[in-house]
Structure 1
């Protein structure tokens, strides 16, 4: 296929060729992969500016997207893209295979750095989904930081650089410029641009950006970062969001309320911390979906109302591919069990073969966890309907997962169904996702509100 770049793509390609450091903050669907490979192809074969290029990507993207894109376009036929996957023996064989671009799962960054030690061979590194390096405490960040001075060219790709706020930017920008723009330490960055927020004693849980922080930070990084939104450059089909409120029958509602009350009774809403909040949130979301794990990891069904709602959506869209996002393993197990006797072709997003089968129309239902489908995968050929069976608090995963179908190349209007238990905790999550305000603060406040509600407290009354 012949690649005819749009003007914005040509601009990004030229910047990547001329700039040794670049953050490409492009929205989902704008073609980050083909832009990057086109620039690499020019740098490698026309300018002889790079010799060995490493791409670090989420596992599913490393397995499929980069190789598939290099084979798709005529101008990239000479570019040898080698996936570095599998066992240690397979990975060692791959990195010693002659090539131009080696694609590594981000889970193996530490292994690769330890393997080469002081003999780092890659003069250009591309980080696909730079936001996955947002934590300065993560081992993958520390390891890549240790070889940063051996990297002559570096590109960071992401559509969501600040999924949880401006604090996420520091580690990402550090990997690009080694601290030149936002400081050498996260502590210094916080001192300069934030004020302490929620805390428990001496432990500070969040930092609030100063009123001028956004503008100042953007000013400091704009010379090495390009930011573009899909709506400014693409004409996409309509996206239709549908929130389907699931009403529980009396018996299931009573069970849900009793279990919720039992768990909440052990937690003081005024002193709830992140650890207890995460555990409680997890349980409440399980209950909303219809089952809950016990201490032995065995799940117990509470209701099947979401299962029934999913069946109705499937029946109403007979013959159309439906991508179903689940949150817990018991969600997947219960869906598979409920649909087992149907004649539907049900698959699970596991590997490149499942992606191909879905895009070729060989599946009616594709089950996927949002963490497995969040980055880079092109699934738009297989369908235009999404069902969120269960929600989680990650705005980044939510946006990226929806972009698997709602992206360039989609021909149909994309319909996104959200199954939300009326009066359940996932209503709080849905509200936060819709407001695009998924922060630790909203997470804790939602739990505190539920605790007060269950305990019958009301701040407005005596």
Structure 2
């Protein structure tokens, strides 16, 4: 029956190897029959029942197989080529060390697996004899050195330390199985000697001892004997070896490494002997050479057993305090890279941990650097004293025995200079905490009359302002008792009341602010409330109202009035398309405020414009007018200058921005739903408008905030910027105030027609009116009503976009442009919108733009076949945020609760049908507030219909109850629509 054996034999290419075999042991034979070499990669192929230990042993032996070595070390095509091209240098350097490593592992496993016999096969014999069986000494063996020092010199020998006595090697014909670590075969016994190579034993194979001449003894004692005592057992004669239990000490040395970077080097000292922390020896040895006898040298060795447990506790202490072991005994702060200059961080670490190091008895030694750094006690006392418009900043810094002048320290912190030279030539490293805590304060502060001052609008940089007024503006303002003007024709919701109080608080403290509420939360109403409050406080009578106006939908209204308050007029600039909306809101919510519209080709262009506008409380104008007429407007000092959609001034280099900065005013407010459209400089432009200088100059802002935040994702600078602007910007999104909102909010958006649109519209309207007058003279009322209905439809289409009527029209549409811009904002803010139109062609024009700009959308018209699929796509696809719907096709039968905006592009004959369309989003299951926007082209039939609905209830009833708006109108009423 086969048995599993391991054979030690010499391979002519690879040297001594351990090879596994399956062998047959015949009772009547003195030799073994080697049936086959075991396939170490797939031992189960032999059908032999290997035990778990044997299989584990085979995994190790596999690393010694020809195939494994070939794959690991050869680039040749075959094993034969591998052996033929074997380079001796590479073999000794790489292959043999690999073999000896796994031979040693193999012997360790064989020592624990006695059921596997081991045989030594001499390469000179072809047979393997049973008598060649060997065993492994059960434990690792250590060498023991015998030294005998006499007047003639030094004799020494080397033996193996065994349990029953030391074993000499001489004349026992040892066979070296592995060189490093050394494994020796001596008389059928295998001895494993880790930590020692075979070279030490070779001289003693043939002779008992080695003689060292007297002249070489001093050097030999200082090197070889010292190392032997340190690393091995030694039996000495003629000199003394003492054991010492002196307690060690540790020290940190501030030095430079070979790359000239500053490091901390940890050293341990035993009596007079000092060791680097990465020294691997567990024993320290010190030699004292004394001449106390004539002609005879007396050598005394002191052996210190190193306390590795204690040394590791020191290393663990340093790592727990934030150091990492970088190279051997070198330590640097944990966050430092391999190539970063570390002086500042190391000295800062030493300052921070100096007390802990002192308690643990670890001194810091500075001897090898050009400069000496201060490591001691220091303090900083900082306080701010409130004055009228600024804070006086006071800082007292003490470093050791020295007091540092505040002005000099400020320059260091502002310029990022960490090192400050003390009078005693030591260098004080300014703590990084001071740069973080005081850097922004000192950066924005100013030197004046030998003092450091900080503008009060930058109070947010102070941790604890000394005046309660300068704490949290938003919190303080929300608690203030500022009643809403009694004459306001509106009830403010809680978040609108908070916004009003916040703006009023800024007003009282002469700050500017940015109201950046989400689209549809009532920024206009909050601003009107503030203006009404201010003007009422200064003389406006709450019961002042405008005289009745003659309704004329085709010409802008001129509102007459007189500013009876003691305040100058306020100016509000906005995109042209919003002017009529603001006018409507003033009339609706604050009719006592007199409003002047400063637009149009017939506006007064004169430096004397102030003589007219001073009679009004509010002037409404556009950004374009401000830009074009700044030479006139800059001569009047307004009370408030308010910007709506203030992102229009986001480019500081634009003419609009340059113009608005020239407007003379007492106070400023900016309104926007998107304070940052493209970059952080958008925010700078708007904040610099309301609070000039708060964020520094543009180049400073880019360097201080834009680059660190946009390119380096600096959370620290982002937090600093938030602290600066937070008091002066208020932003609420619909999600945050949803519980405060009504179930639905509706708003009319007035849109000015472009010049080309207005021209073609007026021409079309004139033609319809003339044709209609002829029809009323010559045809029946029914015929005239039909023509009026056709004409009304064409004008409604042209109010949306003339291309709905004339495919060759190349111009633009004011309403269409505004709709597209609003759609982009909604997509950018990640909302969803339903876009309803009476005209499919209207939706197709929008579709063209969305396709060009690669904006995802859904579309539902009367020709849509897969209605449910289109609806599901909109409801379930996150990046599909626009749903184009024709009123007739989508007014009923749809559940679209993922949308929270509804756009009505043109007035529908029956408002009830509009309500049904709106209810597609505003229905059970909707969790978001729904905002409805009705787009009306100013100066068009759309505005005429809306105003007639407001002022004539019977006409409103007509539109509510019928799809034919002319059913109950007489000839005079129909003609009035086209005048």
- TM score, norm. by length of structure 1: 0.51
The answer to which structure has the higher helix fraction is 1
Please give the residue correspondences for 1:338-417 in structure 2 after superposition, counting only pairs within 5 Å. Answer: 350=814, 368-370=816-818, 374=822, 385=836, 387=843, 388-389=846-847, 390-391=849-850, 405=903, 412-413=918-919
Unpaired stretches in structure 1, ≥5 consecutive residues = 198-206, 239-318, 327-331, 341-347, 351-366, 376-382, 416-462
Q: Check if 1:183 corresponds to 2:687.
A: no
Which shows bigger deviation, 133-142 or 17-26?
A: 17-26
Deviation of 1:121 after TM superposition, in Å, equals 2.2
1:16 corresponds to 2:508? no
What are the superposed Cα offsets for residues 310-333 of structure 1, whole Å, 9 maximum, x if unpaired? Answer: xxxxxxxxx9xx99999xxxxx66
2:736 to 232, 243, 252: 232
Q: Verify the 8 A CA contact 2:609 2:632 in the aligned structure 1.
A: no
Deviations 1:16-39 (A, max 9, x none): 222131110011111111110111
Q: Aligned to 2:720, which of 209, 216, 232?
A: 216
The alpha carbon displacement at 1:5 in A equals 0.4
Task: Give the count of matched residue pairs.
Answer: 275
Aligned residue for 1:249?
A: none
User: How far, CA to CA, are the matches of 1:385 and 1:228 in structure 2?
Assistant: 27
What CA deviation, in whole Å up to 9, does each residue of 1:95-141 have, x standing for no partner?
Answer: 61521000011111123421144x33212111001111100011111
For residue 70 of structure 1, the aligned residue among 586, 592, 597 is 586
Deviation at 1:151, TM superposition (A): 2.1
Inter-CA distance 333–88: structure 2 relative to 1 (3 Å threshold): closer
Q: Tell me by how many angstroms 1:219 deviates.
A: 1.8
Highest RCO, 1 vs 2 (Cα 8 Å, sep ≥ 6) = 1
Q: Match for residue 527 of structure 2?
A: 36
- Which residue is equivalent to 2:909? none
1:159-194 per-residue CA deviation (whole Å, 9 max, x = no partner) reads 0001113232111111011122x2122x21111123
Distance 1:126 1:165 in 2: 22
- Asked if 1:170 corresponds to 2:684, the answer is yes
What residue is the counterpart of 1:428 in the other structure?
A: none
| Equivalent position SS for 2:637 | coil
- Flag the 1:324–1:223 CA change in 2: closer, same or farther, 3 A: farther
Evaluate the alpha carbon distance shift between residue 404 and residue 171 of structure 1 in structure 2; reply closer, same or farther with a 3 A threshold: farther
> Following the alignment from structure 1 to structure 2, what is the Cα–Cα distance between the partners of residues 371 and 137?
27
What's the CA shift for 1:88? 5.3
Displacement of 1:233: 2.0
Partner of 2:706: 194
Aligned to 2:625: 108
Distance 1:59 1:66, change over 3 A: same
Partner of 1:356: none
Contact 2:797 2:804 in 1 (8 A): no
Structure 1 partner of 2:656:
140
- Quote the Cα distance in structure 1 between the aligned partners of 2:797 and 2:737: 26
Q: Are the equivalent residues in 2 in contact too, given 1:33–1:69 (CA < 8 A)?
A: yes
Q: Are the equivalent residues in 2 in contact too, given 1:325–1:368 (CA < 8 A)?
A: no
Unaligned stretches of 5+ residues in structure 2 = 1-487, 540-565, 745-792, 824-833, 838-842, 856-880, 883-899, 905-913, 922-979
> 1:23 is paired with a residue of what secondary structure?
strand
Q: Distance in 1 between matches of 2:854 and 2:503?
A: 30
Aligned partners of 1:414, 1:168: CA distance in 2, in Å? 37
CA distance in 2, matches of 1:403, 1:79: 31
Instruction: Provide the residue aligned with 1:121 in structure 2.
Output: 637
1:40 and 1:130 map into 2 onto residues whose CA distance is 18
TM-score (norm 2): 0.25
Equivalent residues of 2:571, 2:638 under 8 A apart: yes
Whether the 8 Å CA contact 2:681–2:702 is kept in 1: the answer is yes
8 Å CA contact 1:24–1:226 kept in 2: the answer is yes
CA distance in 1, matches of 2:575, 2:534: 24
* Cα RMSD, aligned residues only: 4.1
Change (3 A) 1:19 1:217: same
Give SS of 1:82's match: strand
Shift in alpha-carbon separation, 1:333–1:72, aligned structure 2, 3 A: closer
Deviation at 1:385, TM superposition (A): 2.0
Shift in alpha-carbon separation, 1:414–1:338, aligned structure 2, 3 A: farther
Higher CA-based Rg:
2
Secondary structure of the equivalent of 1:232? coil
Give the secondary-structure state (helix, strand or coil) at the position aligned to 1:151.
Answer: strand
